[in-house]
Amino acid sequence: MELITKRILVTGGAGFLGSHLCERLITLGHDVLCVDNYFTGRKENVEFLLQNPRFEAVRHDITLPFHAEIDEIYNLACPASPVHYQFDPVKTTKTSILGAINMLGLAKRVKAKIFQASTSEVYGDPEIHPQTETYRGNVNPIGPRACYDEGKRCAETLFFDYHRQHGVKIKVARIFNTYGPRMHPQDGRVVSNFIVQSLQNQDITIFGDGSQTRAFCYVDDLISGFIKLMGTDDTITGPMNLGNPHEIPVRELAEQIIRLTGSKSKIVHCPLPQDDPLQRCPDITMASEKLSWKPQISLETGLTRTITYFDKLLSQRNDILKE
Ligand code: NAD
Ligand code: UDP
């Protein structure tokens, strides 16, 4: 097959998912422009790409307009962990909405195809299980998660209005919980928290009784889904669920991580945060039919790789502290 090198802009490219996406796009032979304000992203995530002439990184906040001649945009910029997106909720809403307007405006001007990293949080605390794309959600519009949930919902609205009104080519993915190497160790999300706690033999903090469920997708599987969705013909816009439908209670995740790390950690229970969804699991029928995509990596394999990453990161930090 003939390779067509595209110029691709990745917003949030120095974050967890963004850095894996930049890496994959470079491997596929494209030119990648990573745009990030480093709020939750880290230069270390993309440092290894800097020697590659196909890769460029720019510090920029997407709440402000950005100009570049590009063929495709992946719009990932937005803090994703509840701890981070609730740190400055007004800024989170601005990033989602002004960021979407700026990126859609750019896509319209240069006729680029644009991908939006939306989220399972648009379903809120769902009454339909597993969640299909037709479900309209149960979001508390004034709660502590609303800056993220409603910001992402409004961004979806903007994507579909730019598509209908201006003919912009859009791809909207609703991403479910994803984990893997390069998550921020103080990210606050459950997988990174439990692994970092286990590796340090600290208490494992389960919020609530741990019966709430999530379904965890390994990052490499998700990135394959992104590339496949972006490669579909213009009739496919999404929104499309991307995630791993293997659903487990949070308590079981803690037990599995304790076992895989051989940790001496004990489980402690903390209050369940307000509006924390009690269950979440994607229905991925649409992705499997339209993209022939389904996750390949088991939770055990994915967790083992992620544990190896955090183990190395924590040892490096300990070595620096000893120096
Ligand atoms: P992350 O926090 O690691 O990455 C987000 C990146 O966006 C960071 O590099 C951050 O510095 C950057 N950023 C934030 N605000 C910005 C701004 N105003 N301008 C420029 N850059 C900005 O999070 P992630 O897990 O990599 O998530 C990436 C995207 O995927 C987010 O849009 C998130 O909502 C979405 N998503 C992620 C998950 C998941 O499980 N990881 C689930 C659903 C949706
Ligand atoms: N959680 C937990 N302990 C932690 C962090 C999270 O029990 O240290 C729970 C959290 O309350 C939620 C689930 O794990 O029910 C997933 O949380 P996360 O922040 O990873 O993502 P969410 O799906 O809530 O956005």
Mean pLDDT to the nearest integer, 278-300: 98
**Of all protein residues, whose CA lies closest to atom 23 belonging to ligand 2?**
177
301 located within any domain: no
**pLDDT value, residue 318:** 75
What ipTM does the predicted assembly reach?
A: 0.98
74 located within any domain: yes
Mean pLDDT for the chain overall: 96
Contact 84, 12 (CB under 8 A): no
List CB contacts of 181: < 8 A, sequence separation 6 or more.
219, 305, 306, 308, 309
CA of 294 to the centre of ligand 2 (A): 24
211 located within any domain: no
209 located within any domain: no
Catalytic residue numbers read: 148
Residue given tokens 């910029």 in the structure block: 77
Burial class from Cβ neighbours inside 10 Å (0-12, 13-18, 19+) for residue 313 reads middle
pTM (predicted TM-score): 0.97
Q: How many domains does the chain have?
A: 1
**pLDDT value, residue 317:** 78
What percent of the chain stands above pLDDT 70? 98
**Domain span at 85:** 7-184+217-245+279-296
127 located within any domain: yes
**pLDDT value, residue 202:** 97
Does position 1 have pLDDT exceeding 60, yes or no?
no
Mean pLDDT to the nearest integer, 274-297: 97
In short, whether 295's Cβ falls inside 6 Å of ligand 1 is no
161 located within any domain: yes
Atom of ligand 2 nearest to the CA of 177: 23
Q: For the chain, first and last CA: distance in Å? A: 52
Mean pLDDT to the nearest integer, 181-187: 93
CA of 32 to the centre of ligand 2 (A): 32
157 located within any domain: yes
pLDDT-derived band at 322 (thresholds 50, 70, 90) equals: low
Q: Which of 122, 72, 100, 79 is nearest to 226 (CA)?
A: 72
Report the residue among 16, 123, 214, 244 best suited for mutation to probe ligand 1: largest number of ligand atoms under 8 A from its CB. 16
What is the rounded CA–CA span in Å between residue 21 and residue 229?
Answer: 13
What is the rounded CA–CA span in Å between residue 9 and residue 177?
Answer: 24
**pLDDT value, residue 320:** 65
What is the rounded CA–CA span in Å between residue 205 and residue 197?
Answer: 8
Does position 36 have pLDDT exceeding 80, yes or no?
yes
Least confident interval from 128-132, 252-256, 317-321 = 317-321
**pLDDT value, residue 140:** 97
Mean pLDDT to the nearest integer, 22-30: 98
* Alpha-carbon dihedral sign for residues 290, 81, 315, 18: positive
Mean pLDDT to the nearest integer, 84-107: 98
Does position 2 have pLDDT exceeding 60, yes or no?
no
Does position 223 have pLDDT exceeding 70, yes or no?
yes
Secondary structure (3-state) at 66:
coil
List CB contacts of 40: < 8 A, sequence separation 6 or more.
15, 79, 80, 81, 84, 184, 187
In short, whether 15's Cβ falls inside 6 Å of ligand 1 is yes
Atom of ligand 1 nearest to the CA of 38: 11
CA of 281 to the centre of ligand 2 (A): 14
**Of all protein residues, whose CA lies closest to atom 44 belonging to ligand 1?**
119
Mean pLDDT to the nearest integer, 183-197: 95
What percent of the chain stands above pLDDT 90? 96
Q: Which of 26, 27, 115, 110 is nearest to 71 (CA)?
A: 110
Mean pLDDT to the nearest integer, 167-189: 96
CATH number of 116's domain: 3.40.50.720
Contact 248, 299 (CB under 8 A): yes
Does position 69 have pLDDT exceeding 80, yes or no?
yes
Report the residue among 40, 66, 178 best suited for mutation to probe ligand 1: largest number of ligand atoms under 8 A from its CB. 40
Which two three-digit tokens encode residue 82? 């509840």
Report the residue among 214, 255, 280 best suited for mutation to probe ligand 2: largest number of ligand atoms under 8 A from its CB. 214
pLDDT digits (tens, 9 = 90+) for 141-164: 999 999 999 999 999 999 999 999
Q: In the Cβ-directed half-sphere of 224, how many Cα atoms lie within 13 Å?
A: 16
104 located within any domain: yes
pLDDT-derived band at 316 (thresholds 50, 70, 90) equals: confident
pLDDT-derived band at 291 (thresholds 50, 70, 90) equals: very high
